[in-house]
Amino acid sequence: MKISYNWLKWYIPEVPEADSLRDIFTYHLCEVEGIEKLPDGDTVFDINILPNRAHDLLSHHGIARELASQLGIKYNDPSSMYKVPEAKLTNLKIEVESENCRRYMGRILRNVKVGPSPEWVVNHLASIGQRSINNIVDASNITMYDSGQPTHCFDLDKVNGAIIVRQAKEGESITTLDNKEVKLSPNDMVIADEKNLLAIAGVKGGKIAEVDENTKNIIIEVANFTPVSVRKTRRAVNIFTDAVKRFENDLSPELCDFAMKEISGLMIEYGFTDFEDVVDIHTNPQKERELSFSASFVANKLGREVSEVEVEDILKRYNFKYEKNGEEFTITPPALRLDLQIPEDMVEEIGRVAGYDKVTGKIPKINFTPKVNETFEMIQKSRAYLLSQGYNEVMTYTFANKGKVEVLASASDKKFLRTNLSDGLKESLVLNKVNAPLLGENDIKVFEIGNVWSPLEEMHVAYGNKKEIKEVSLEEFMKASPDAFVQVLGSPREELGDITSQKHTGSAFKMWSLFPFIARDIAVWVPESEGKEKLENLIKENITELCVKGPDMFDTFTKEGRTSFGFRMIFQSYERTLTDSEVGEIMTKITNKVKENSEWEVR
């Protein structure tokens, strides 16, 4: 919401300079989203009022009251300034048929003249980004941005009979002031007369009773509607207005009195004085509520020392009615403070006013022994043991194409929850077998710890290689070889403690290439008297950085005074897919280097 500094000064003349208000807003009230300096010297704050205070702070009055209380400065209440001359008896009839209308005030003002607004009205609206329309509409808008209570004016001569507040009928529609045709439902509340719909209650006025340059007599509406009703309607009709913003965050019905005085006072300033009595239908009066709390209660919740003197000072500054009995304060929150419902709300209020920067952070001392999750402990111990035995952990799909427990809205080949881990482990072994040369493994050993459903949910452990896969429940696995656990992990299972600190044979993780590898072998005859080292060094000198693994000797035998050494190399790039020709060039280079030695022969 945009707040004008000059506008605030009408009500709190002692307000600090505009530049210092940013910190006051930020540390005690709300976030400041922007500050704009206007050519006329005014400063406009764009502040983010949260929903819990939207009922009283989406207005200049609300912000002025808050600042006056926060800073301990004088607040000029303008209520006494609005002097309405003696009003005439009225024949205005208002019927409230909807329980979503808590209060409806209306009064007739005759002999008005629609035209431009006074300069101060135009300037006030312009300062917060609103354009002037005409003096009647502007008076309604000024009242809303000043007090927080939306109001509306109907052309009396276009209204047929009584004003009726009711739910819309099925199939009814209305043309709004912006010429939008809106279809309504019985969930939507409307303002109607005996023939037509005049407005969507709390949302938007209609064209039928629009105030225009020919208007002579008006009906001033000040009403209070339930926030849920307004919110549902604005979502259904897709219309969002400043009035909606205030109604859907809830307003006190008590605010209607002030708004009616204010808009009437504005009309008097225009020179319009032919008022009739106010018709006030208050179907759901707001009840007073009491909150009780103590300074020690506030201190305990807030996390810092709070004295009774400090609490009492804040209550006085904010004009709370209160009584003190011993250590207990009992307050009656102001009608507009709908956010104060429980004692904890007063903790927040006192903390906010005093300043949260005064709450020092302290780490709580908690002395307790954490409860061990037995299942998680068994999983950790089982995992540590299997890793120490050279197994690598895999995670396979929980869903399968067959099983005993079916799931909804799943892929056609994944309609069931798995009944075992072994099937997934077999698929994993097949896939990992392709990468065995790159991993330098002759035997791929994998394991998985996970849930199965057969049909009840159980935790299983499956482990093995291409020759055999074993699968048992987690409990059975832990009971199977207690001596093995002790031998590998160094202590009985009941005393293992933090498994994450146990040593295992695995190495640090290094990201693999996303591109395929190429494996190449070379076998060379050398004199029986020579070892493999010379040949291995020659290969290493010529394989380039594209060789990510090797040369690894995979075969050797001796025959007729010569020894054959077979080496395997894995070529792979982290940047691209290698071609056969690239690797072929490297292998040709190695072969040529081998041939330079007359005693060596490539097999």
CA neighbours within 13 Å on the CB side: how many for 42?
A: 20
Beta bridge partners of residue 276, listed in sequence order: 88
Q: Are 274 and 85 in contact (CB under 8 A)?
A: no
Neighbours of 139 (CB within 10 A): 24
| Cβ–Cβ < 8 Å for 151, 143 | yes
Q: Which two tokens stand for residue 319?
A: 């004009």
Pairing of strands 392-393, 446-453: parallel
Q: Which two tokens stand for residue 445?
A: 């050993």
What local confidence, expressed as pLDDT, does residue 495 receive? 39
CB-count burial class (<10 Å; 0-12, 13-18, 19+) for 569: buried
Residue 195, pLDDT score: 95
- H helix or E strand, kind and range, residue 135: helix 135-147
Domains of the chain: 2-76 (3.30.56.10), 94-282 (3.50.40.10), 291-357 (3.30.56.10), 374-501 (3.30.930.10), 518-602 (3.30.70.380)
Q: How many helices (H) and strands (E) does the chain have?
A: 19, 29
Helix (H) / strand (E) containing 153: strand 151-155
Report pLDDT for 509: 60
Both ends of the chain: CA-CA distance in Å? 85
DSSP secondary structure string for all residues of 287-316: PP--EEEEHHHHHHHHTS---HHHHHHHHH
Question: How far is Cα 36 from Cα 47, in angstroms, rounded to an integer?
Answer: 12
pLDDT less than 70: residues of the chain: 436-442, 481-510
CA dihedral of residues 129, 271, 257, 245 (deg, nearest 10): -20
